[in-house]
Amino acid sequence: MAKRIAVLGSTGSIGRQALDVVRAHPDRLRIVGLAAGHNWELLAQQAAEFVPEIVSVESEADAARLKVRLGDRVKVSAGAAGLNAVATWPTADLVLVAVTGTAALVHTVEAIQLGKDIALANKETLVAAGELITELASSMGVQLLPVDSEHSAIWQCVAHRRSEVTGIVLTASGGPFRRFSREELQEVTPEAALRHPTWKMGPKITIDSATLMNKGLEVIEARWLFDLDYDRIEVVIHPQSIVHGMARLRDGTVLACLSSTDMRLPIQYALSYPERWEALADPLDFCALAKLTFEAPDRERFPSLDLAYQAGRAGGTVPCVLNAANEVAVTAFLQGRLRFTDIPRVVACIIEKHISKKRPSLGDILEAERWAREAARAAIERMSQC
C-alpha cells in the first residue's frame, strides 16, 4: 500500500523536490495533504496534479481563490488552523515538515502526538525544541527521519552501529564568501549572498549557509538526532559538497556518505525508509570529480558557527533564542537594513540579554521565541546598543 504523505511547505524548494520524488514513485507514495504560504497558484497546480484530500494557505483571501480554482474536489483551509489541519490530517502516515522557521513547530508536536512519522527538513524545529521533540517522538514510537543532506548522510553511516560511533563530522560548502577578508565581508550584498556555489535553496537557508549559521543550526540538530555531546560533533569545510557527512568509529575507521548535490536523494530516502528505491539523481562520476578537499572553518571570520555551539551547550531556551534572533537578523539583511557582518552581532547581543529556562515546555519555547524576535527587532533599530 502507498505511504500517505502530508507536505508542509509544498511550494518551497524542498516541497517541490519532494513532489518530484512522489511523481517518480506514484505506486509507493500518495499525497493526502499540501500546505503552503502565499504561493496559492502553484499550490493549485500541485493540487490539480496530486489530488490531495486537503490543502492550506496562509491567508483567507488566497484560500477563497483556491476554492474557486479547485471546486469541491479538495478541502481548502487557511492560516495556522489550516497548517495544523494538514499536519494532523487523519489519513496521513508521514508528515514532511518543509516550511521555514518555527511556523510549524506546534503542528509538528501535534502530529507526533498522533503517532505520525516525521520527515524533518526544517532544522529550526530541533534547534528550538530538540529535547522536547526527541523525548516525545521516542515516547510515541514515532520516527524522526532526517531530510537535511548532512543528517541523512550521518544517519546512514551510524545505522546499526550506534555503540561503535565516537563522533560525527558535518561537512559545509563554506558558502560563497569562504575566501573573503573581514573588510570584504562587511560589503556583502543580499544579491551576492543569495548566489550559493553548490546548492539551490530558499533565501533564508542560503544566507545562513553564507554566514555558517546554517552549519551551526545543523550541529544542534545533529546533537538531538544522534544523541551526541557537542564535543563529538565536528564541522569541516568541503567546498565540493560531495561528502555529506561522516561517522568516526571506535577503531579509527571513518565511514562517509557521498552523493551528488541533489536534495531529491535525501528526501527520497526519508520517504522510502527503510527501503531504497531507484535514483532520481545522476550517479556520481568519480573520474569527473577533479578533487575532494577538506579544510577547517574560519571561526573568527564566521562567528555564527561558534555562537551556535555555545547556544547548544548552554541548552534550555538559548538555542531557540539564537534561531529566532538569527531569523530576524537575516530578514533585516535581505531587506538591506543590516550588514552581513552584523547578523552574528545581533544574535550574540540577544543571547547575552536572555535569561534561559532549563528543560523548557512548549509554552516556554514559544515565549522565548516571541521575546527574542522582539528584542532582535529593537536591537536592529538601535544597532549602537549591541
Give me the residues that bind ligand NAP (CB under 6 A), please: 9-15, 35-39, 58, 83, 98-100, 103, 121-124, 148, 199, 201-202, 205, 263
Q: In terms of CB distance, is 43 or 157 closer to ligand NAP?
A: 43
Q: In terms of CB distance, is 39 or 134 closer to ligand NAP?
A: 39
Distance CA 78, CA 188 (A): 37
Q: In terms of CB distance, is 41 or 93 closer to ligand NAP?
A: 41
Residue nearest to ligand NAP (CB): 12
Q: In terms of CB distance, is 121 or 157 closer to ligand NAP?
A: 121
Least Å distance, CB 42 to ligand NAP, is 7
Least Å distance, CB 358 to ligand NAP, is 26
Least Å distance, CB 164 to ligand NAP, is 27
Give the strand pairing for 94-97 and 144-146.
unpaired
Distance CA 314, CA 311 (A): 5
Least Å distance, CB 249 to ligand NAP, is 26
Q: In terms of CB distance, is 104 or 247 closer to ligand NAP?
A: 104
Find where cell 530516502 sits: 269
Q: In terms of CB distance, is 38 or 161 closer to ligand NAP?
A: 38
Q: In terms of CB distance, is 33 or 248 closer to ligand NAP?
A: 33
Least Å distance, CB 15 to ligand NAP, is 5
Which residues, including other chains, have CB under 8 Å from residue 282's CB and lie 6 or more apart?
Answer: 260, 262
Q: C-alpha distances in angstroms, 194 versus 175, 208, 238, 330, 368?
A: 10, 10, 19, 11, 29
**What sign does the CA torsion over 150, 174, 323, 167 have?**
positive
Distance CA 18, CA 38 (A): 19
Q: Are 323 and 347 in contact (CB under 8 A)?
A: no
Least Å distance, CB 252 to ligand NAP, is 30
Cis geometry, peptide bond prior to residue 274 (ω within 30 degrees of 0):
yes
Cell of 306: 561558534
Least Å distance, CB 265 to ligand NAP, is 11
Q: Which amino acid is at 124?
A: E
Q: Are 266 and 152 in contact (CB under 8 A)?
A: yes
